[in-house]
Amino acid sequence: MKLKNPSNSASQTLTSSDTRLLVRETLRISANLASAPPPSPSAAAVAPQERPLLQDSSFGGLVDDQFLNSSLKLICCEEIDGRRWQYFADDNIGVRTVGSKHLKKNSIRAVSLQTPLSPADELIMFIRSYVVPEGFPDSVTPSYVPYMSWRALKHFFGGAMGVFTTQTLLSSLGVSRNRAAPGAVAINWILKDGAGRVGKMLFARQGKKFDYDLKQLRFAGDLLMELGAGVELATAAVPHLFLPLACAANVAKNVAAVTSTSTRTPIYKAFAKGENIGDVTAKGECVGNVADLLGTGLSIMISKRNPSLFTTFGLLSCGYVLSSYQEVKSVVLHTLNRARFTVAAESFLKTGRVPSLQEGNLMENIFIPPWKQHRPIVLGPRFKDAFQDPMSYLSLEPIFEKERYIVTYNPSKGNIYALFKDQAKSDDILKACFHAHVLHHIIRSSNHSQQSLRKQVHELSAVSPSLGDLQSHIAESYKMVSALYGPFKNKAKEQGWVMSESLLNPGRARLCELAR
C-alpha cells in the first residue's frame, strides 16, 4: 500500500503537468495565428469558405460548387431575363471530359447562379409584369411614362365619380322608396364593375400575345363577350344570385373588351396604306357605332312584341359569333405568327410551294385557345423541358455547332423543341422554326410507316424513336434544312410574306457559352 500511494501521486502530478503544457501550447498557436498576415487574394479565392454558393432546389438550398464538381458534370448554361442557370449531370466514373459516356440518364439538375430575390423584389417584379410593357423602358418612347401617369390619374377621378353617379341613376329610376335600398343596390353594382376591372387588369398581363396570336385572341374575346351576356341573362332566373353572376359576367365582358381594344390597332394597320392609320381607325369606329345604334333600335322594336327571351338571345348570339368568325377570317396579315408559319412550312414541305397571303390567312387556325401553347413544336423552352438525358444533348451539340440554335425531340413529352443560343437573331429564329417543322415532318413520316405496329398494340400516340433513330432523324433534317431553307424564304418573300418581322413568340430562355 505504501508503494502504491507514491505511484498514484506521481501519476496525478504528471497528468496535471501535461494539462498545463497542452494549455500553454494552445495559447501559443492561437497567438501565432492572430499575428499572421492576412491571406493573399489568390489564396482567398480558392478557400473553400469563400467559394460562391449555387442554389438548387433538388439539393435543398445553396450548394458549394466544389461538391458539384466532385460528382456532377457541367453540360450547359442557360439565361432568362438576365438570370442564369447551370445544368449538371451525374457522372458515375468521375471522368470530366466532354466525350464521357458515363453520365446517368434522367440525371440533369438545374442550379441557379444567383441568390433568391427578397420578397420585396419579388413583389416589385410581379407588379412590373402587370403595369409596364416587356423590355421597359427601352421598349417605349420617353413620353410613355407621363402619358400613363396622367391617364391613371384621370381614371382615378372617373372611378370616384362613378360611385356617386351610379347611386344617383339607380335612385332616379325608382329602385326603392326607402333610403337604404338604393345605397345597397349601388354597392352591388359597384362591386360588379370592380370585379370586371380586376379581370381586365389581370388579363392585360398577356402583353405580347396580343401581337403573336391576334386573330385567336380576338375571336376568343368575342366568345367571352357572348358568355358574359349569357350569364347576365341568367340573373333573371336566379335574382338572389345577382351579385356573383353579375361579377362573373362583368369579368368576362371586360376581358373581352381588353382583347378588342388591344387587337384593334394592328388590324386597322393591316388595312392602311401609307400614313392614314388614324383615318382608317376613325372610320372603322364610326361604322361600328352606326351598326350598334341600328342593332339597338331593332332590339327595341322586337322587345315590344314580347318574344321568347332565350330564343331571341340564342338567335342573336349565333349571328354574333358567326359574324365574329368571318370578321377575323377576312383580315389579311403579312406577318408570320406561329399559326401562319405552320401553314406556310407544311404546305412547302408537302407541295414545294408557299401559299399566298390570302390562302395562308384563310388556312390559319383561329380556334387555338389563348392559354394553350402551339404544339407539338415549342420555341425557346427551358433546357430542363427539352432534355432529360444528358447524353442526348451532348450527342446533338456537335451537329449544331455552326448554328445558333439546337432542335431536338423529347419522346417522353412528344414535343419538338427549338432552343436558341444567346447570339440568335431574327433569321436564326425563323430557321430554327423551319427546322423544327422539317424534323416533325420526318418523324411523322417515319411513324406513319409503323402504322400497323401501332394498331397491333392499340397505341394511339406516335411511336417514340430510339436515341440512335433520333440522331439519324436530326442529321437528316439538318441536311434538308441546309438545302430547303433558302428556297423557302425566297418563295415566301415572293408571295408577300414579311420574313424580317416574324411574330413567332420564341420564348426568353437562351443557351450561354460555358466558361471552360
Residue 419 bridge partners (DSSP):
406
C-beta separation of 394 from 98 below 8 A: yes
Residue type, 501: E
Rounded distance between C-alpha atoms, residue 349 and residue 153, angstroms: 54
Rounded distance between C-alpha atoms, residue 157 and residue 23, angstroms: 78
Residue 392's closest CA among 311, 469, 457? 469
**Helices marked H in 352-495 — which ranges?**
357-363, 383-386, 390-396, 426-448, 451-456, 467-494
Per-residue pLDDT, 122: 77
C-beta separation of 313 from 237 below 8 A: no
Cis upstream peptide for 41 (omega within 30°): no
**Residue 393's CB: how many other CB atoms inside 10 A?**
22
Instruction: End-to-end CA distance of the chain: give it in Å, rounded.
Output: 76
Rounded distance between C-alpha atoms, residue 407 and residue 481, angstroms: 12
Cis upstream peptide for 137 (omega within 30°): yes
- Find the helix or strand (DSSP H, E) in which 215 lies: helix 214-234
C-alpha angle 427-433-437 in degrees, rounded to nearest 5: 140
C-beta separation of 505 from 212 below 8 A: yes
Residue with grid cell 489564396, as numbered in its chain: 43
Q: Is 86 helix (H, G, I), strand (E, B) or coil?
A: strand
pTM for this structure?
0.70
Length of the chain: 516
Residues 6+ apart with CB under 8 A from 79: 85, 422, 509, 510, 511, 512
C-beta separation of 258 from 204 below 8 A: yes
292-309: burial string, b at 16+ Cβ within 10 Å, e else: eeeeeeeeeeeeeeeeee
Is 176 exposed, middle or buried, given 0-12, 13-18 or 19+ CB atoms closer than 10 A? middle
pLDDT in tens, the chain (516 residues): 444 444 444 444 444 555 555 555 555 555 554 444 544 444 444 444 444 444 544 443 444 444 444 577 888 888 887 778 888 887 765 444 444 456 777 778 888 877 777 788 777 777 676 666 666 777 666 766 775 677 667 656 665 555 555 555 555 545 554 555 555 555 555 666 666 666 666 666 666 677 788 888 888 888 988 888 888 888 778 878 877 887 888 888 888 888 888 888 888 888 877 777 777 888 778 788 788 888 888 887 887 787 787 888 888 888 988 888 988 888 888 888 889 999 999 999 999 999 999 999 999 988 876 556 667 899 989 898 888 788 888 888 889 989 999 999 988 888 899 999 988 898 999 999 999 999 999 988 877 665 545 554 444 344 456 666 788 889 999 999 999 999 999 999 999 998 876 688 888 889 987 655
Residue 213's closest CA among 434, 366, 343? 366
C-beta separation of 91 from 73 below 8 A: yes
- The long-range contacts involving 16-21, CB below 8 angstroms and separated by at least 24 positions, are none
**And the C-alpha cell for 388?**
432529360
C-beta separation of 337 from 173 below 8 A: no
Per-residue pLDDT, 48: 40
**Residue 193's CB: how many other CB atoms inside 10 A?**
18
Rounded distance between C-alpha atoms, residue 105 and residue 84, angstroms: 23
C-beta separation of 331 from 240 below 8 A: no
Alpha-carbon radius of gyration of the chain: 34
Rounded distance between C-alpha atoms, residue 508 and residue 379, angstroms: 9
**Helices marked H in 306-448 — which ranges?**
309-329, 338-351, 357-363, 383-386, 390-396, 426-448
Strands 498-503 and 405-410: unpaired
Rounded distance between C-alpha atoms, residue 433 and residue 380, angstroms: 10
Rounded distance between C-alpha atoms, residue 386 and residue 371, angstroms: 20
Rounded distance between C-alpha atoms, residue 186 and residue 416, angstroms: 54
